[in-house]
Amino acid sequence: MTTSAVPRVHIATDHAGMELSAHLVSHLSAKGYDVVDHGPKVYDALDDYPSFCINAALAVVADQEAGTHALGIVLGGSGNGEQIAANKVKGVRAALAWNLSTAQLAREHNDANVVAVGGRQHRVDEATAIIEAFLTEPFSNDQRHVRRIGKIATYERTGEVIE
């Protein structure tokens, strides 16, 4: 697997997160991240975010399966629907982060590969700090976390619940 300290970042939003998304694309690109914007490209107050978020999540999984270090960001008003949509993609562990601690723990304990953030819940600087905390926090590889993630993956693949 090809890994680097700086992952490729797939980002998607709905209309409520477009301003934050544009900021993050610019900010993260300037920091050296390879940012792939999955849209939307134009503001539409009636847009349907699932396709944007699912496409970003699919790209994260495809990159990871190809050996590329990749993470995803999905944004909305609350981040809830976007997290739900991303989590429908096999292989995605999307976490809703609302502060630095939840962002870091999502990576450290759950090896989350997509973060959801509510654009209407935070100032731009707060949301940026949450995203950066997620992107820079490594997975602990602690055996108990590896075991738990494995149980989730087994259920996802087979439908079997392992005690």
Q: Which residues pair with residue 68 across a beta bridge? A: 2
Indicate which residue of 10, 38, 82, 122 is catalytic.
82
- Residues 102, 19: Cα–Cα separation, whole Å: 23
82 catalytically annotated: yes
Tracing tokens 């940012």 back to the chain, one arrives at: 35
- Residues 34, 135: Cα–Cα separation, whole Å: 12
Q: Of all helices (H) and strands (E), which one includes residue 127?
A: helix 124-136
Indicate which residue of 15, 109, 132, 137 is catalytic.
109
- 118 token code pair: 């509510």
19 catalytically annotated: no
Residues annotated as part of the active site = 82, 109
